[in-house]
Amino acid sequence: MSSLADDTRWLDATAQAELVSSGEVSASELTEAAIERIERLDGALNAVNLRWFDVAREAARSSELPAGPLAGVPFLLKDLNSHMAGTPMTNGNIALRDAGFTCSTDTELVARFRSAGLVTLGRTASPELGTLPVTEPIAFGPTRNPWDTSRTPGGSSGGAAAAVASGMVPVAHASDGGGSIRIPAACCGLVGLKPSQGRITTGPFRSETGLGVELVVSRSVRDTALVLDAVHGPGIGDTVIAPAPTGSWSAAVGSDPGRLRIGRSVHGAVGGASRPRSRRTRRPPRPSPC
Protein backbone atom coordinates (compact mmCIF):
# COMPACT_ATOMS: atom_id res chain seq x y z
CA MET A 1 0.00 0.00 0.00
CA SER A 2 1.39 3.44 -0.92
CA SER A 3 2.36 5.87 1.81
CA LEU A 4 -0.61 8.18 1.12
CA ALA A 5 -3.10 5.29 1.13
CA ASP A 6 -1.65 4.14 4.42
CA ASP A 7 -1.29 7.62 5.97
CA THR A 8 -4.90 8.60 5.22
CA ARG A 9 -6.48 5.23 5.95
CA TRP A 10 -7.62 6.08 9.48
CA LEU A 11 -8.22 9.80 9.02
CA ASP A 12 -11.89 10.70 9.38
CA ALA A 13 -13.76 12.63 6.69
CA THR A 14 -13.32 15.96 8.48
CA ALA A 15 -9.55 15.53 8.55
CA GLN A 16 -9.41 14.44 4.90
CA ALA A 17 -11.52 17.44 3.86
CA GLU A 18 -9.07 19.69 5.71
CA LEU A 19 -6.16 18.19 3.75
CA VAL A 20 -7.90 19.12 0.49
CA SER A 21 -9.00 22.60 1.57
CA SER A 22 -5.47 23.42 2.76
CA GLY A 23 -3.96 22.25 -0.52
CA GLU A 24 -1.78 19.68 1.22
CA VAL A 25 -3.43 16.83 -0.73
CA SER A 26 -5.61 16.97 -3.84
CA ALA A 27 -9.00 15.36 -4.30
CA SER A 28 -7.48 13.15 -7.00
CA GLU A 29 -4.79 11.93 -4.62
CA LEU A 30 -7.38 11.04 -1.96
CA THR A 31 -9.45 9.25 -4.59
CA GLU A 32 -6.48 7.16 -5.76
CA ALA A 33 -5.62 6.32 -2.15
CA ALA A 34 -9.17 5.10 -1.48
CA ILE A 35 -9.22 3.07 -4.72
CA GLU A 36 -5.96 1.43 -3.70
CA ARG A 37 -7.38 0.50 -0.30
CA ILE A 38 -10.57 -0.93 -1.80
CA GLU A 39 -8.61 -3.08 -4.24
CA ARG A 40 -6.26 -4.20 -1.48
CA LEU A 41 -8.80 -4.90 1.28
CA ASP A 42 -12.11 -5.82 -0.32
CA GLY A 43 -11.16 -9.30 -1.48
CA ALA A 44 -11.43 -10.53 2.10
CA LEU A 45 -14.53 -8.49 2.97
CA ASN A 46 -16.76 -8.36 -0.15
CA ALA A 47 -18.11 -4.97 0.88
CA VAL A 48 -17.98 -2.99 -2.40
CA ASN A 49 -20.05 -4.78 -5.03
CA LEU A 50 -20.30 -2.09 -7.71
CA ARG A 51 -17.38 0.13 -8.67
CA TRP A 52 -17.01 3.11 -10.98
CA PHE A 53 -13.45 4.22 -10.30
CA ASP A 54 -12.98 6.03 -13.62
CA VAL A 55 -16.11 8.10 -13.00
CA ALA A 56 -14.76 8.99 -9.55
CA ARG A 57 -11.36 9.93 -10.97
CA GLU A 58 -13.00 12.26 -13.48
CA ALA A 59 -15.12 13.88 -10.77
CA ALA A 60 -12.13 14.34 -8.45
CA ARG A 61 -9.99 16.13 -11.04
CA SER A 62 -12.83 18.21 -12.44
CA SER A 63 -12.72 21.96 -11.95
CA GLU A 64 -16.46 21.67 -11.27
CA LEU A 65 -16.04 19.57 -8.11
CA PRO A 66 -18.26 21.44 -5.61
CA ALA A 67 -16.35 23.30 -2.92
CA GLY A 68 -18.58 21.93 -0.18
CA PRO A 69 -17.59 21.06 3.38
CA LEU A 70 -16.52 17.55 2.31
CA ALA A 71 -14.86 18.46 -0.98
CA GLY A 72 -12.65 15.66 -2.25
CA VAL A 73 -13.53 13.10 0.42
CA PRO A 74 -13.90 9.53 -0.95
CA PHE A 75 -17.37 8.10 -0.44
CA LEU A 76 -19.49 5.01 -1.16
CA LEU A 77 -23.24 4.71 -1.74
CA LYS A 78 -25.32 1.86 -0.37
CA ASP A 79 -26.72 -0.43 -3.07
CA LEU A 80 -30.29 0.31 -2.05
CA ASN A 81 -32.67 3.03 -3.25
CA SER A 82 -29.86 5.58 -3.70
CA HIS A 83 -30.23 6.57 -7.35
CA MET A 84 -27.17 8.23 -8.89
CA ALA A 85 -27.55 9.20 -12.52
CA GLY A 86 -25.59 7.03 -14.94
CA THR A 87 -24.62 4.36 -12.40
CA PRO A 88 -25.86 0.81 -11.82
CA MET A 89 -27.97 -0.18 -8.80
CA THR A 90 -29.27 -3.63 -7.87
CA ASN A 91 -30.83 -3.36 -4.38
CA GLY A 92 -29.07 -6.68 -3.78
CA ASN A 93 -31.35 -8.35 -6.32
CA ILE A 94 -30.18 -10.87 -8.92
CA ALA A 95 -32.71 -9.79 -11.56
CA LEU A 96 -31.68 -6.11 -11.35
CA ARG A 97 -28.02 -7.14 -11.38
CA ASP A 98 -28.40 -9.27 -14.47
CA ALA A 99 -30.58 -6.69 -16.22
CA GLY A 100 -27.86 -4.08 -15.80
CA PHE A 101 -30.28 -1.52 -14.38
CA THR A 102 -28.84 2.00 -14.57
CA CYS A 103 -30.20 5.01 -12.71
CA SER A 104 -31.50 7.86 -14.86
CA THR A 105 -31.38 10.58 -12.21
CA ASP A 106 -30.16 11.42 -8.72
CA THR A 107 -32.25 11.21 -5.61
CA GLU A 108 -32.30 14.51 -3.75
CA LEU A 109 -30.00 13.10 -1.05
CA VAL A 110 -27.44 11.89 -3.60
CA ALA A 111 -27.52 15.35 -5.20
CA ARG A 112 -26.75 16.81 -1.77
CA PHE A 113 -23.89 14.36 -1.28
CA ARG A 114 -22.49 15.64 -4.59
CA SER A 115 -22.98 19.27 -3.57
CA ALA A 116 -21.10 18.61 -0.34
CA GLY A 117 -18.10 17.64 -2.51
CA LEU A 118 -18.05 13.91 -1.79
CA VAL A 119 -16.46 11.76 -4.50
CA THR A 120 -18.42 8.53 -4.92
CA LEU A 121 -16.41 5.47 -5.95
CA GLY A 122 -19.14 2.79 -6.03
CA ARG A 123 -21.78 0.94 -4.06
CA THR A 124 -21.64 -1.13 -0.90
CA ALA A 125 -23.39 -4.44 -0.35
CA SER A 126 -26.92 -4.68 0.99
CA PRO A 127 -29.13 -7.73 1.56
CA GLU A 128 -31.82 -8.11 -1.07
CA LEU A 129 -34.17 -5.12 -0.79
CA GLY A 130 -32.60 -4.30 2.59
CA THR A 131 -34.80 -6.79 4.39
CA LEU A 132 -32.35 -8.54 6.75
CA PRO A 133 -30.10 -7.54 9.69
CA VAL A 134 -27.18 -9.33 8.02
CA THR A 135 -25.59 -8.64 4.62
CA GLU A 136 -25.62 -11.86 2.62
CA PRO A 137 -27.28 -11.18 -0.76
CA ILE A 138 -27.46 -14.18 -3.08
CA ALA A 139 -26.57 -11.80 -5.92
CA PHE A 140 -23.09 -11.09 -4.52
CA GLY A 141 -22.43 -13.36 -1.55
CA PRO A 142 -21.84 -12.50 2.12
CA THR A 143 -20.00 -9.46 3.39
CA ARG A 144 -17.57 -10.07 6.24
CA ASN A 145 -16.71 -8.10 9.37
CA PRO A 146 -13.20 -6.58 9.16
CA TRP A 147 -12.61 -7.22 12.87
CA ASP A 148 -13.28 -10.94 12.41
CA THR A 149 -13.99 -12.24 8.91
CA SER A 150 -15.83 -15.26 10.32
CA ARG A 151 -18.55 -12.88 11.55
CA THR A 152 -21.16 -10.64 9.97
CA PRO A 153 -20.89 -6.85 9.86
CA GLY A 154 -24.66 -6.74 10.43
CA GLY A 155 -27.13 -5.21 8.04
CA SER A 156 -28.66 -3.97 6.06
CA SER A 157 -25.87 -1.37 5.73
CA GLY A 158 -23.28 -4.08 6.30
CA GLY A 159 -21.22 -3.28 3.23
CA ALA A 160 -21.02 0.38 4.22
CA ALA A 161 -19.98 -0.52 7.76
CA ALA A 162 -17.32 -3.00 6.62
CA ALA A 163 -15.88 -0.46 4.17
CA VAL A 164 -15.64 2.29 6.80
CA ALA A 165 -14.43 0.06 9.65
CA SER A 166 -11.66 -1.38 7.46
CA GLY A 167 -10.47 2.08 6.40
CA MET A 168 -11.44 1.91 2.72
CA VAL A 169 -13.30 5.23 3.02
CA PRO A 170 -13.90 7.44 6.06
CA VAL A 171 -17.68 7.65 5.70
CA ALA A 172 -20.35 5.86 3.66
CA HIS A 173 -24.04 6.22 2.89
CA ALA A 174 -26.38 4.05 4.97
CA SER A 175 -30.10 3.69 5.60
CA ASP A 176 -32.21 2.45 8.52
CA GLY A 177 -35.75 1.21 8.99
CA GLY A 178 -35.55 -1.32 11.81
CA GLY A 179 -31.87 -0.97 12.70
CA SER A 180 -30.00 -1.04 9.39
CA ILE A 181 -27.64 1.80 10.38
CA ARG A 182 -27.45 1.01 14.07
CA ILE A 183 -26.90 -2.77 13.86
CA PRO A 184 -23.86 -2.63 11.55
CA ALA A 185 -22.46 0.35 13.46
CA ALA A 186 -22.63 -1.75 16.63
CA CYS A 187 -21.16 -4.81 14.92
CA CYS A 188 -18.24 -2.83 13.45
CA GLY A 189 -17.53 -0.24 16.16
CA LEU A 190 -18.75 2.80 14.23
CA VAL A 191 -20.94 5.86 14.73
CA GLY A 192 -24.43 5.10 13.43
CA LEU A 193 -27.19 7.68 13.85
CA LYS A 194 -30.73 7.04 12.70
CA PRO A 195 -32.01 10.58 12.09
CA SER A 196 -35.55 11.63 12.93
CA GLN A 197 -38.26 10.93 10.39
CA GLY A 198 -38.44 13.83 7.95
CA ARG A 199 -34.96 15.14 8.82
CA ILE A 200 -33.48 13.77 5.57
CA THR A 201 -35.54 13.85 2.39
CA THR A 202 -36.03 10.49 0.66
CA GLY A 203 -37.53 12.00 -2.50
CA PRO A 204 -38.36 11.65 -5.24
CA PHE A 205 -38.75 7.85 -5.18
CA ARG A 206 -39.61 7.14 -1.55
CA SER A 207 -41.95 8.61 1.06
CA GLU A 208 -40.97 9.98 4.48
CA THR A 209 -44.07 8.35 5.99
CA GLY A 210 -42.33 4.98 6.36
CA LEU A 211 -39.77 3.84 8.92
CA GLY A 212 -36.83 4.10 6.52
CA VAL A 213 -34.44 7.05 6.82
CA GLU A 214 -30.99 7.68 5.34
CA LEU A 215 -27.68 9.13 6.46
CA VAL A 216 -24.23 7.54 6.93
CA VAL A 217 -21.99 5.37 9.05
CA SER A 218 -18.73 6.99 10.11
CA ARG A 219 -15.76 6.66 12.44
CA SER A 220 -16.34 9.91 14.35
CA VAL A 221 -19.23 11.87 15.82
CA ARG A 222 -17.96 15.02 14.13
CA ASP A 223 -18.17 13.36 10.71
CA THR A 224 -21.78 12.32 11.25
CA ALA A 225 -22.59 15.85 12.43
CA LEU A 226 -20.83 17.42 9.43
CA VAL A 227 -22.71 15.24 6.94
CA LEU A 228 -26.01 15.91 8.71
CA ASP A 229 -25.36 19.66 8.50
CA ALA A 230 -24.65 19.31 4.77
CA VAL A 231 -27.63 17.20 3.68
CA HIS A 232 -30.54 17.74 6.08
CA GLY A 233 -33.77 19.47 5.20
CA PRO A 234 -36.94 18.79 3.20
CA GLY A 235 -37.22 18.27 -0.52
CA ILE A 236 -39.97 19.22 -2.94
CA GLY A 237 -43.12 17.21 -2.25
CA ASP A 238 -42.05 15.84 1.15
CA THR A 239 -45.05 15.05 3.33
CA VAL A 240 -43.14 14.66 6.60
CA ILE A 241 -40.78 17.46 7.66
CA ALA A 242 -38.84 17.47 10.92
CA PRO A 243 -38.67 20.69 12.95
CA ALA A 244 -35.89 23.02 11.80
CA PRO A 245 -32.68 22.71 13.82
CA THR A 246 -31.82 25.50 16.24
CA GLY A 247 -28.16 25.47 15.23
CA SER A 248 -25.35 23.51 13.65
CA TRP A 249 -24.81 19.91 14.74
CA SER A 250 -21.09 20.31 14.05
CA ALA A 251 -20.92 23.27 16.42
CA ALA A 252 -22.61 21.18 19.12
CA VAL A 253 -19.95 18.44 18.99
CA GLY A 254 -17.88 18.62 22.15
CA SER A 255 -20.05 21.25 23.80
CA ASP A 256 -21.14 20.88 27.41
CA PRO A 257 -24.62 19.32 27.34
CA GLY A 258 -25.38 20.51 30.86
CA ARG A 259 -27.21 18.41 33.38
CA LEU A 260 -28.85 15.37 31.77
CA ARG A 261 -31.78 13.23 32.85
CA ILE A 262 -32.04 9.58 31.90
CA GLY A 263 -35.38 7.78 31.80
CA ARG A 264 -35.94 4.06 32.05
CA SER A 265 -38.97 1.81 32.05
CA VAL A 266 -39.62 -0.36 35.11
CA HIS A 267 -42.66 -2.05 33.61
CA GLY A 268 -42.57 -5.13 31.43
CA ALA A 269 -45.10 -5.87 28.72
CA VAL A 270 -47.02 -9.08 29.48
CA GLY A 271 -49.82 -10.17 27.19
CA GLY A 272 -49.96 -6.78 25.48
CA ALA A 273 -48.97 -3.18 26.16
CA SER A 274 -47.35 -2.38 29.49
CA ARG A 275 -49.48 -0.56 32.06
CA PRO A 276 -48.49 1.83 34.85
CA ARG A 277 -48.09 -0.01 38.15
CA SER A 278 -48.38 1.47 41.63
CA ARG A 279 -46.15 0.29 44.46
CA ARG A 280 -49.03 -1.74 45.88
CA THR A 281 -49.61 -3.63 42.66
CA ARG A 282 -47.98 -7.04 42.54
CA ARG A 283 -45.61 -7.65 39.65
CA PRO A 284 -47.29 -9.95 37.09
CA PRO A 285 -45.66 -13.33 36.50
CA ARG A 286 -43.11 -13.54 33.74
CA PRO A 287 -44.08 -15.53 30.65
CA SER A 288 -42.53 -18.97 30.28
CA PRO A 289 -39.68 -19.14 27.76
CA CYS A 290 -40.53 -20.55 24.35
Active site residues: 78, 156, 180
Contacts of 184 (CB under 8 A, 6+ apart): 135, 153, 154, 155, 156, 157, 158, 160, 161, 162, 174, 190, 192, 217
Q: How far apart are CA 50 and CA 110, in angstroms?
A: 16
Q: Indicate the Cα dihedral angle 263, 264, 269, 272, nearest 10°.
A: 10
CB 64 within 8 A of CB 58: no
